[in-house]
Amino acid sequence: MAKHVVTLIPGDGIGPEITTAMRRVVDATGVDIEWEIADAGEHVMAEYGTPLPEHVIEACRRNKVAIKGPVTTPVGTGFRSVNVALRKELDLYVNLRPAFSIPGTGARYEDVDIVIVRENTEDLYAGIEFEEGAPETAELIRFCAEKGVGTIRPDSGISLKPISITGSERIVRYAFEYALANGRKKVTAVHKANILKYSDGLYLDVARKVAAEYEGRVEFEDRIVDMTCMGLVLYPEQFDVVVLPNLYGDIVSDLAAGLIGGLGMAPGANIGAECAVFEPVHGSAPKYAGKDMANPTAEILTAVLMLKHLGEFDAAEKILAGVKTVLAEGVSVTYDIKRTNTGSTDGAVGTQAYADAIIATF
């Protein structure tokens, strides 16, 4: 029996290509993983009537560790995003998105090393939505008027932004524990508490209380989200671990991906108390599907996070070193890296050839 059994969800669009490249790179390190393939996404809807069949969720629960490619969110079908559903079903409350500079990507900055810790279950992503014109929306509008909470135009759609003490406490605590375990110096809690007093205000209160427990061990600061965005662009080196509620986390992590060379470079992990699902930040980039063009770096760096989670530190380091070598050489790189480095995609290699170049460094 293999040392680790990992659920592999190839996904849609470029997912199958980049997960194949990732798997080849991971297997080439010699680490003992049995991959259990579980298909989810738009392409399984005809067969199962849903993009996220129950057996896929079960496979993640059983193996406790899964890695996935991106999944297309079907538009206008009434199905919620597979990613959001998986995070909810498995209570994967942490979305960890490290953004660190690797020379050779053509990124605008060279010294970025930020870990974004995004809350994954609450906030405007909780999925509590009131459609414009629906009777329950009218009732909510009436309720707010009657209670003197505020006036909402009758032709409004409404999304609720719940933020709890429980949700805030566990995500901020995770950020501090991550900082301690990884030799990080500072945690920045990001919010808009000056305007959103009862949701972000509560988050900030909780963050300050949790931070007090780590005083003297990890530095703490809080920043307003708009100022955070400006600060990240002006002086990204000032940021270390950044913990945010769900929506700001989503936006700011894409900003952070931009600092390090784009979405093709940004890995991610969804972590809960019971299991973890690893996935890159980017989507299924359908226009590149089947073309052997997409950059698998984000998926491969996602596997690096997974290997560390599995305690396979040597394999993780080997892959990271290989990625750094190939990018620094700048020869066997995909179209997006060529484009940022030279202004043209001429001479770019395909997804699998890039993986071959990494494997050749082992």
285 binds ligand NAP (CB under 6 A): yes
Sign of CA dihedral 24, 351, 94, 230: positive
State the number of binding residues for ligand NAP (CB under 6 A): 19
Buried b (16+ CB within 10 A) or exposed e, 38-66: bbbbbbbbeeeeebbbeebbebbeebbbb
Task: Figure out which of the listed residues 71, 224, 232, 323 binds ligand NAP, where binding follows CB under 6 A.
Answer: 71
Nearest Cα residue to 253 out of 82, 123, 119: 119
Is 56 one of the binding residues for ligand NAP (CB under 6 A)? no
| Binding flag, residue 279, ligand NAP (CB under 6 A) | yes
The answer to whether residue 125 is catalytic is yes
Q: Which of 116, 191, 336, 350 binds ligand NAP (CB under 6 A)?
A: 336
> Is 27 in the active site?
no
Non-local CB neighbours of 48 within 8 Å, separated by 6+ positions: none
Q: In whole angstroms, give the CA distance from residue 189 to residue 53.
A: 36
Residue range at the interface with ligand NAP (CB under 6 A); choices 70-78, 185-193, 205-213, 304-312: 70-78
Residue 236 CA to residue 249 CA, distance in Å, equals 16
Least distance from ligand NAP to the Cβ atom of residue 90, Å: 14
Is residue 39 a contact residue for ligand NAP (CB under 6 A)? no
Residue choice 121, 199, 284, 302 for contact with ligand NAP (CB under 6 A): 284
Cβ nearer to ligand NAP, comparing 245 with 261: 261
Name the CA radius of gyration of the chain, rounded.
21
Question: Under the criterion CB under 6 A, does residue 72 sit at the interface with ligand NAP?
Answer: yes
Based on the shown chain and the rule CB under 6 A, indicate whether residue 282 belongs to the binding site for ligand NAP: yes
State the DSSP code for 80. Answer: P
Q: Is residue 267 within the footprint of ligand NAP (CB under 6 A)? A: no
In the chain, which residue ranges form alpha helices assigned H by DSSP?
A: 15-28, 45-48, 54-63, 82-89, 135-146, 165-181, 200-213, 225-234, 246-259, 297-309, 313-329, 335-342, 351-360
The tokens for 298 are: 């984000």
Residue 250 bears catalytic tag:
yes
Distance CA 147, CA 142 (A): 9
Tell which one of 249, 272, 283, 322 touches ligand NAP (CB under 6 A).
283
Q: Which of these is catalytic: 91, 111, 226, 314? A: 226
SS3 51: coil
Amino acid (1-letter code) at residue 207: A
User: Is 263 one of the binding residues for ligand NAP (CB under 6 A)?
Assistant: yes
Residue, CB closest to ligand NAP: 283
Residue 185 among the catalytic residues: no
Measured on CA atoms in the order 302, 305, 309, 312, is the torsion positive or negative?
A: positive
Stretch that binds ligand NAP, among 43-51, 133-141, 203-211, 292-300 (CB under 6 A): 292-300
Distance between CA atoms of residues 164 and 187, nearest Å:
20
Q: Which is nearer to ligand NAP, 125 or 214 (CB)?
A: 125
By the 8 A CB rule, do 278 and 269 touch? Answer: yes
Q: Which of 93, 125, 178, 248 is catalytic?
A: 125
User: What part of residues 293-322 is at the interface with ligand NAP (CB under 6 A)?
Assistant: 294-295, 298
Distance CA 38, CA 188 (A): 37
Q: Exactly one of 64, 192, 318, 338 is catalytic; which is it?
A: 192
Interface residue list for ligand NAP (CB under 6 A): 14, 18, 70-73, 83, 263-264, 279, 282-286, 294-295, 298, 336
Residues labelled as active-site residues: 125, 192, 226, 250
